[in-house]
């Protein structure tokens, strides 16, 4: 529709002796229904260069536009407010569109906008030094939903997890696992060795003991490292699977060492004088990229800091040739981004197509009290715990219902206690309710299939519901282009509300068979859109609850 109006407006502007602004013609959906279904601010944009009153200009544009309009699509066009041009859909248009929704079914909302283009989304990427904690949930859910939305916009999506199975943190895990294993063998662990305090490390130690007895007393750290890594990997992927999240690629950090990529990058940086030795360490000349000071990339122990493998990893990823690359990070990792990107850029790779999504931290509140999160103390609220407390659907929904930039407060108690009033249940309830209506209709011998006379739907609540359904593809596109998933949540809840209103205003199954069939068709279409939305969010769309 916007495309159609855009064409006509361009034509009309030409006839009125006006040009199209560089920004194109912008449309928006008026907040207030009386203002019509679509509006454009074109007259206000053009008013200044044309040195004319916006309202007057809008009138001129309208006059030029009216003869061009197809009455089957647009019923009315008028000037309002400071110079908006408002359009109102023709009834036949919304019936046609409803027909289309029904025809497209589970594909309604998909588009081919980015067909043939490849995108890589890297997210989660938590260190395999323990199970995922509740705070990881936000990134898990944001990324997972984003990937689906991108696919619905035609992108060929690669889901990637950068698996940090090398470096200092893994060394600490290995030491801790060994200490816990030796504890099983009857030795008292040195507190210095217990870098990770979580109970799970003891569990790993027990597993090793069960399998080998005390036969691994003299095994080297590599053994315990790989046992720890294997356990953590299994734990993380299991939790992800519970939430319906999967990755296509787990890129192992240690492969960068094995394949010599770390040394390659170090050499390349040194060749460009972007890395230098000092005080026994190797420094990255980040001041050359505008940073306040240079940073260490290889410690005096000879071990790289995270920056170096991060640069090497991004280089490998970019070399694979994606049209777009998305990195999702928590705000606590924000410091690495400028260094890594400028490092990669210095290696001759373009980074303009890399988008970094930063999400702010989550705080968990339980019964008015902050849930303390500390890996070292072992006092951790795990993502598994959160799922057990509120359910996977609530987890998936709550983490994406707010913008990534908002500091999210997750009140666990509230999510448990008030689950009846939860937005996610509100949404699912609408879906289950429609399913119930359809079952009832069938029990009454009503045919709920095709062939409904949609023009019988003339009640305001019916029109409002249809128009709400029409907005779905645009919302999907909006989420895909802004990377902001909360728009979908907001949309789905207003859609559910619109349905509930319709339900109260218009009885679906009545003696009037023709009207009943039309309303059943509308109900089915609503159910379909709700289900499609649930698919995008990764939550269930139940037939009963």
- Segment 192 to 251, residues that bind RNA, using CB under 7 A: none
Q: Residue 67: which H helix or E strand, with range?
A: none
**By three-state DSSP, how is residue 430 classified?**
helix
Using the rule CB under 7 A, is 83 a contact of RNA? yes
CA–CA distance, 395 with 116 (Å, rounded to integer): 32
Using the rule CB under 7 A, is 367 a contact of RNA? no
Pick one of 110, 463, 497, 535: the residue that binds RNA (CB under 7 A).
497
**Is beta strand 249-252 parallel, antiparallel or unpaired with respect to 156-163?**
parallel
Q: How many residues bind RNA (CB under 7 A)?
A: 96
Contact by Cβ (8 Å): 119, 325: yes
Using the rule CB under 7 A, is 306 a contact of RNA? yes
Contact by Cβ (8 Å): 355, 326: yes
Q: Residue 398: which H helix or E strand, with range?
A: helix 392-400
Stretch that binds RNA, among 63-71, 242-250, 264-272, 408-416 (CB under 7 A): 408-416
CA–CA distance, 201 with 207 (Å, rounded to integer): 10
Task: Find the binding residues for RNA in span 19-48 (CB under 7 A).
Answer: 26, 28-32, 34-36, 39, 41, 44-45, 47-48
Of 248 and 409, which has the nearer Cβ to RNA?
409
Using the rule CB under 7 A, is 167 a contact of RNA? yes
Of 208 and 390, which has the nearer Cβ to RNA?
390
Angle, CA 292 vertex, CA 290 and CA 296 arms, to 5°: 100
Nearest to 142 by CA among 537, 410, 541, 540: 537
Strand partners for 364: 410
Pick one of 52, 185, 403, 463: the residue that binds RNA (CB under 7 A).
403
Using the rule CB under 7 A, is 81 a contact of RNA? yes
Of 185 and 423, which has the nearer Cβ to RNA?
423
Question: Min. distance of Cβ 213 from RNA in angstroms?
Answer: 33
Using the rule CB under 7 A, is 305 a contact of RNA? yes
Q: Per 3-state DSSP, what percentage of the chain is helix, strand, and coil (rounded to 5)?
A: 55, 15, 30
Using the rule CB under 7 A, is 287 a contact of RNA? no
**By three-state DSSP, how is residue 236 classified?**
helix
Question: Min. distance of Cβ 375 from RNA in angstroms?
Answer: 9
User: What totals of helices (H) and strands (E) does the chain contain, helices first?
Assistant: 20, 15
CA–CA distance, 195 with 492 (Å, rounded to integer): 45
Using the rule CB under 7 A, is 135 a contact of RNA? no
Using the rule CB under 7 A, is 484 a contact of RNA? yes
Pick one of 386, 503, 525, 526: the residue that binds RNA (CB under 7 A).
503
Spell out, one character per residue from 514 to 543, where the chain touches RNA: x when CB under 7 A holds, - when not. -----------------------------x
Nearest to 536 by CA among 419, 401, 385, 429: 401
Stretch that binds RNA, among 223-231, 274-282, 320-328, 447-455 (CB under 7 A): 274-282
Question: Min. distance of Cβ 91 from RNA in angstroms?
Answer: 20
Using the rule CB under 7 A, is 513 a contact of RNA? no
CB atoms within 10 A of CB 43: 26
Nearest to 127 by CA among 216, 206, 195, 211: 195
Spell out, one character per residue from 432 to 471, where the chain touches RNA: x when CB under 7 A holds, - when not. xx-xxx-xxx------------------------------
Using the rule CB under 7 A, is 6 a contact of RNA? no
Within its chain, how far is the Cα of 134 from the centroid?
17
Pick one of 300, 374, 377, 450: the residue that binds RNA (CB under 7 A).
300
Of 112 and 511, which has the nearer Cβ to RNA?
511
Of 209 and 399, which has the nearer Cβ to RNA?
399
Question: Min. distance of Cβ 124 from RNA in angstroms?
Answer: 12
Using the rule CB under 7 A, is 284 a contact of RNA? no
Exposure string over 4-17, b if 16+ CB within 10 A, otherwise e: ebbebbbebbeebe
Question: Min. distance of Cβ 218 from RNA in angstroms?
Answer: 27
Strand partners for 296: 283
Of 14 and 280, which has the nearer Cβ to RNA?
280
**By three-state DSSP, how is residue 38 classified?**
strand
CA–CA distance, 183 with 205 (Å, rounded to integer): 8
Task: Find the binding residues for RNA in span 93-132 (CB under 7 A).
Answer: 127
């Amino acid at each position: 529709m916007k495309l159609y109006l855009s064409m006509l407006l361009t034509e009309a502007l030409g006839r009125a002796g006006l040009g199209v602004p560089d920004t194109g013609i912008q449309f928006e959906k008026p907040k207030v229904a009386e203002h019509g279904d679509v509006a454009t601010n074109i007259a206000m944009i053009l008013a200044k260069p044309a040195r004319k009153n916006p309202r007057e200009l809008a009138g001129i544009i309208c006059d030029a536009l009216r003869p061009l309009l197809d009455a089957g699509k647009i019923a009315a066009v008028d000037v309002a407010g400071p110079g908006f041009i408002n359009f109102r859909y023709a009834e036949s248009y919304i019936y046609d569109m409803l027909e289309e929704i029904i025809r497209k079914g589970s594909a309604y909302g998909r588009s081919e906008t980015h067909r043939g283009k490849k995108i890589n989304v890297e997210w989660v990427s938590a260190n395999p030094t323990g199970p995922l904690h509740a705070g990881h949930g936000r990134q898990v859910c944001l990324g997972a939903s984003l990937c689906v939305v991108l696919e619905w916009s035609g992108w060929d999506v690669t889901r990637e997890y950068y698996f940090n199975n090398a470096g200092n943190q893994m060394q600490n895990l290995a030491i801790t696992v060994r200490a816990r294993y030796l504890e099983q063998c009857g030795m008292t662990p040195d507190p210095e060795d217990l870098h990770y305090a979580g109970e799970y490390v003891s569990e790993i130690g027990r597993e090793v003991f069960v399998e080998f007895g005390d036969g691994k007393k003299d095994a080297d750290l590599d053994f315990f490292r790989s046992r720890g890594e294997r356990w953590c990997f299994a734990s993380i992927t299991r939790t992800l699977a519970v939430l319906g999240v999967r990755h296509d690629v787990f890129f192992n950090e240690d492969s960068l060492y094995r394949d010599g990529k770390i040394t390659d990058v170090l050499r390349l940086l040194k060749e460009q004088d972007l890395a230098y030795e000092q005080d026994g360490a190797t420094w990255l000349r980040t001041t050359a990229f505008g940073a306040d000071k240079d940073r260490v990339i290889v410690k005096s122990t000879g071990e790289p800091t995270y920056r170096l493998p991060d640069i090497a990893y991004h280089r490998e990823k970019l070399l694979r040739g994606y049209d777009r690359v998305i990195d999702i990070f928590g705000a606590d990792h924000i410091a690495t981004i400028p260094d890594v990107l400028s490092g990669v850029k210095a290696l001759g790779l373009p980074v303009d197509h890399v988008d970094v999504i930063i999400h702010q931290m989550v705080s968990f509140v339980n019964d008015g009290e902050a849930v303390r999160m500390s890996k070292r103390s072992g006092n951790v609220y795990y993502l598994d715990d959160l799922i057990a407390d509120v359910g996977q659907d609530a987890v998936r929904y709550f983490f994406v219902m707010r913008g990534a930039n908002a500091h999210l407060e997750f009140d666990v108690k509230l999510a448990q206690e008030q689950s009846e009033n939860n937005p996610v249940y509100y949404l699912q309830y609408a879906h289950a309710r429609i399913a119930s209506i359809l079952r009832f209709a069938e029990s009454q011998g009503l045919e709920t299939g095709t062939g409904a006379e949609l023009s019988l739907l003339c009640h305001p609540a019916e029109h409002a519901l249809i128009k709400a359904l029409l907005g779905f593809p645009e919302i999907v596109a909006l989420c895909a282009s802004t990377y902001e998933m909360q728009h979908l949540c907001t949309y789905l809840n207003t859609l559910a509300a619109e349905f509930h209103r319709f339900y109260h205003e218009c009885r679906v199954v009545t003696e009037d068979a023709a009207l009943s069939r039309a309303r059943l068709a509308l109900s089915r279409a609503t159910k379909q859109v709700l289900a499609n939305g649930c698919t995008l969010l990764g939550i269930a769309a139940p037939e009963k609850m």
